[in-house]
């Protein structure tokens, strides 16, 4: 079969490899679609030895079962499923509570992270990682497993702040941010302020239900403050899906006293946390900062339910498997709208 593999750190190649076979407790999935995530770029750029090579990338996977290994119940050939990519240790306190994204033994383990992923015609996955997707388009189902799940989890972590009449600022209307907008619209009654440098992204945000849009620039903070009010008031929740220094500086300056800042993006910015400072301005008192990671299987089931109910739809840009390396380069250059999805 064909697969797109990281053959060495920073090197992504389309190669031919044997089709794997499902072992005990596993299924062989014919890949219908796999999302291209910025996290994959971090894997490619990681120092040698941090991730195994060669390895097939791709952790946002949806497909059709082609084979069932011994001991698998509840799944049959022909079933359509999305893959929950995290594989925790299964033994620590977090895993036993269903919080595999907080595993205390395996910090970043899973399909396309520590074992072969979905950028291939087939992938073997533990049956325990599968969730039914019904008649969802597989190109829609695949992004739900991260681009949908991660913002859903972040919003769940701020749910106690997202009451009617409150304000949520969403920074970065890209692959995750545009999903966050839809989740907020579907599950809250908050005022949503969307922030991005791109006019096209802000037009999308308006179509998806954002109440206010702000084009990022030198006066981003002033523009947001004109909507959320002056300190100590401000945004009750700020979701930063970029994580660059300018976006974190903005987030810090618009969150309200007692608010919550969720740092989701991985663009390398830093957020000083100190109670008293002149430069940069300190976080407001009683403000909490959370760094979400992916989500739980239970949350993914809820994300799929939103999509099957027509309340969540990914803005996708599709590529054939042979063009996966080019898709990642376009992603690196910031040329992808919504989510890039590889369709083998």
Domain identity same for 111 and 169: no
Q: What is the pLDDT of residue 109?
A: 86
pLDDT averaged over the chain? 95
User: What CATH number has the domain bearing residue 219?
Assistant: 3.40.50.720
Please check the confidence at residue 168 and state whether its pLDDT lies above 70.
yes
230 assigned to some structural domain: yes
Domain identity same for 157 and 107: no
User: What CATH number has the domain bearing residue 103?
Assistant: 3.90.180.10
Averaged pLDDT for residues 183-206: 97
Q: How confident is the model at residue 277 (pLDDT cuts 50, 70, 90)?
A: low
58 assigned to some structural domain: yes
Q: Judge contact between 87 and 129, C-beta under 8 A.
A: yes
Domain identity same for 162 and 120: no
Please check the confidence at residue 133 and state whether its pLDDT lies above 80.
yes
Domain identity same for 79 and 107: yes
305 assigned to some structural domain: no
Domain identity same for 163 and 93: no
Query: Tens digit of pLDDT for each residue in 297-307?
Result: 999 999 999 99
Q: How confident is the model at residue 273 (pLDDT cuts 50, 70, 90)?
A: confident
276 assigned to some structural domain: yes
Please check the confidence at residue 75 and state whether its pLDDT lies above 70.
yes
The number of domains in the chain is 2
Q: How confident is the model at residue 179 (pLDDT cuts 50, 70, 90)?
A: very high
Domain extent for 104: 2-132+314-343
Please check the confidence at residue 149 and state whether its pLDDT lies above 80.
yes
Structure tokens at 190: 């908050």
321 secondary structure, DSSP code = G
Domain identity same for 277 and 161: yes
Q: What is the pLDDT of residue 126?
A: 98
Q: Judge contact between 216 and 196, C-beta under 8 A.
A: yes
Domain identity same for 53 and 99: yes
pTM of the model: 0.96
Per-residue DSSP letters for 98-167?
T-GGG-SS-TT-BBTTTB--SSBSEEEEEGGGEEE-TT--HHHHHHIIIIIHHHHHHHHHTGGG--TT-E
């Amino acid at each position: 079969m064909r697969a797109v593999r990281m053959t060495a750190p920073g090197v992504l190649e389309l190669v031919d490899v044997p089709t794997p076979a499902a072992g005990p407790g596993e299924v062989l999935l014919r890949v219908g679609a796999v999302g291209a995530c910025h996290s994959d770029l971090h894997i490619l750029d990681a120092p040698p030895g941090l991730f195994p090579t060669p390895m097939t990338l791709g952790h946002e996977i949806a497909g059709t079962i082609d084979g069932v290994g011994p001991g698998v119940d509840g799944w049959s050939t022909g079933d359509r499923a999305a893959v929950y990519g995290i594989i925790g240790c299964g033994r620590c306190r977090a895993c036993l509570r269903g919080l595999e994204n907080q595993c205390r033994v395996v910090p970043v383990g899973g399909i396309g992270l520590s074992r072969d992923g979905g950028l291939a015609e087939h992938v073997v996955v533990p049956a325990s990682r599968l969730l039914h997707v019904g008649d969802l388009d597989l190109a829609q189902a695949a992004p739900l497993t991260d681009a949908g799940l991660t913002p859903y989890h972040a919003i769940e972590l701020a749910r106690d702040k997202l009451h009617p009449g409150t304000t949520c600022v969403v920074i970065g209307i890209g692959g995750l941010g545009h999903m966050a907008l839809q989740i907020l619209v579907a599950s809250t009654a908050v005022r949503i302020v969307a922030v991005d440098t791109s006019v096209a992204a802000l037009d999308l945000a308006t179509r998806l239900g954002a109440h206010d849009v702000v084009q990022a620039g030198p006066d981003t903070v002033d523009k947001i403050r004109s909507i959320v009010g002056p300190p100590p008031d401000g945004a009750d929740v700020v979701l930063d899906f970029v994580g660059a220094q300018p976006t974190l500086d903005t987030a810090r300056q618009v969150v309200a006293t007692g608010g919550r800042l969720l740092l989701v993006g991985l663009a390398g910015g830093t957020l000083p946390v100190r109670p008293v400072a002149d430069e940069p301005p300190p976080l407001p008192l009683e403000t909490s900062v959370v760094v979400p990671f992916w989500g739980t299987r239970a949350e993914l089931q809820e994300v799929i339910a939103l999509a099957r109910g027509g309340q969540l739809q990914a803005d996708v840009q599709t590529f054939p498997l042979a063009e996966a390396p080019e898709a990642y380069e376009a992603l690196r250059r910031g040329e992808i709208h919504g989510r890039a999805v590889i369709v083998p």
